[in-house]
């Protein structure tokens, strides 16, 4: 299944890269260069809830869950109206979760003046507390980033600047992990 998802992502991305190379000196929807490197950092908060059927089991008759505060660092490579990227996270958990950390790839499109819509896939390590153990597995997600120009605050932070991120991820399709926070692009 994972090989098919990777093949599908590459199939979608290759024609876009070819188009982007033909486009020459293009610009992105926010007016920045269409090709380059956009590093970013951010802080997110959210909640992670695992099903009773996950590899963490239910040693106390319940399910593993807890609040999260996550720091992220990554880089996007714009390719005209789309982008690819890679992101790492370090996350402090509360409740049944001690720490989470991982890395994932992202692919998506640029939306509006300064927004992004994307899908992600990668690997996540989860360290449990109390009777829950430590596990690692694939994580998949979708998300959106909205910049100030998209909500009527154009010119506040420049071309890329600060964006609000909303995302939802799943750890091996055994959990739900909604997150929200602030991302600073450079």
Mean pLDDT for all residues in the chain: 80
Query: For residues 165, 157, 73 and 6, what is the CA-based torsion angle, rounded to 10 degrees?
Result: 60
Range in 52-56, 142-146, 179-183 the model is least confident about: 52-56
pLDDT over 70 at 170, yes or no: yes
CA atoms of 117 and 82, how far apart (whole Å): 9
The whole-angstrom distance between residue 183's C-alpha and the CA centroid of its chain comes to: 11
What are the tens digits of pLDDT across the range 106-151? 999 988 767 899 999 999 999 988 778 888 999 999 999 997 665 5
Helix-, strand-, coil-residue percentages of the chain, each rounded to 5: 15, 55, 30
Instruction: Return the higher-pLDDT residue of 80 and 62.
Output: 80
Q: Which residues contact 95 (CB under 8 A, 6 or more apart)?
A: 65, 66, 67, 129
Report the relative pairing of strands 38-50 and 162-171 from DSSP bridges: unpaired
pLDDT tops 90 at residue 28? no
The upper half-sphere exposure of residue 78, i.e. CA atoms within 13 Å in the direction of its Cβ, equals 25
- The CA–CA distances, whole Å, from 161 to 71, 95, 182 equal 17, 33, 10
| β-bridge mates for residue 88, sequence order | 73, 103
pLDDT tens by residue, 1-23: 545 444 444 444 444 444 444 44
Residue 136: name the closest of 87, 106, 174 by CA. 174
Percentage of the residues of the chain whose pLDDT score is greater than 90 = 49
- Which pLDDT value is given to residue 26? 54
């Amino acid at each position: 299944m994972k090989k098919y998802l990777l093949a599908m992502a590459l199939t979608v991305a290759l024609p876009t890269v070819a188009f982007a190379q033909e486009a020459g000196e293009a610009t992105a929807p926010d007016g920045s260069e269409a090709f380059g490197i956009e590093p970013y950092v951010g802080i997110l908060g959210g909640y992670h809830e695992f099903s009773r059927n996950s590899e963490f089991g239910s040693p106390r008759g319940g399910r593993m869950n807890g609040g999260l505060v996550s720091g992220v660092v990554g880089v996007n490579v714009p390719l005209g109206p789309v982008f690819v990227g890679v992101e790492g996270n370090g996350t402090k958990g509360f409740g049944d979760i001690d720490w989470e950390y991982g890395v994932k790839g992202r692919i998506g499109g640029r939306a509006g003046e300064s927004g992004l819509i994307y899908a992600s896939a990668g690997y996540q390590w989860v360290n449990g507390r109390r009777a829950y153990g430590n596990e690692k597995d694939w994580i998949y997600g979708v998300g959106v980033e909205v910049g100030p120009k998209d909500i009527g605050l154009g010119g506040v932070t420049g071309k890329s600047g600060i964006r609000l991120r909303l995302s939802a991820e799943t750890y091996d399709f055994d959990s739900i992990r909604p997150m929200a926070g602030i991302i600073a692009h450079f």
